[in-house]
Amino acid sequence: MNIFLLFIVILIGYLLGSISFSYLIAKKIKKVDIRHHGSGNAGATNTLRVLGVGPAITVLSLDIVKGIAAVWIGIFLAPDASGIFPAFAGLAAILGHNWPVYFGFRGGKGVATTIGVIATLVFFPALYAGIIAIISILLTRYVSLGSLLFALCTPIFAFLLLETYQIPAMYIILTIFVAVLSFWRHRENIQRLLNGTESKIGQKKEAS
């Protein structure tokens, strides 16, 4: 394995992930730092709260795309059946979104970028987990709960479908790591969910 090339892939993934579309669009539209409004989170959910549906969909789409792009950069630069390069490129993009070098290492929670990364690497497990997540959001209006269910269910489905879709072990490891990271990033949301104080879609209070 070419360690130098792996470093380049990780660096590109991180720098790509560090592009905070929520921050940039909020600055463009309202001339505000979105991290000082709503929940203070630079992500699609807070963009919805602060700027509305259109900007939120734009942020969500762009954050997903940068996750997809990072993975494909890893695939193109180092085609490898083990999946190490695309997995690390995707992980770097998620870390970049969460701790962006361009914006003082204050980013979002990485949900949309995680969707882009995971869906590219393990499409069907991510699809099944995504269906569960969407249903939970429609029923409860808790975006954070849907995000947590997606993170939790993806590695479960990936393991169950390991042989069916010939999923590399590295991808399974990545989904587990990302799930742990997502739960840690959502630790305050989890506490609010347990306390019954988590905000729902349409509310102005702090949420995911």
Segments making up each domain of the chain, as ranges: 3-195
Which of 22, 12, 166 has the alpha carbon at shortest distance from 91?
12
**pLDDT tens digit sequence for 66-86:** 999 999 999 999 877 789 999
Question: 177-196: per-residue pLDDT in tens?
Answer: 999 999 999 999 999 999 99
Does the pLDDT value for residue 205 go beyond 70? no
CA nearest to 126, candidates 86, 91, 167: 167
Q: Collect all residues with Cβ–Cβ distance below 8 Å to 99 and sequence separation of at least 6.
A: 18, 105, 106, 107
Distance CA 198, CA 196 (A): 6
pTM: 0.94
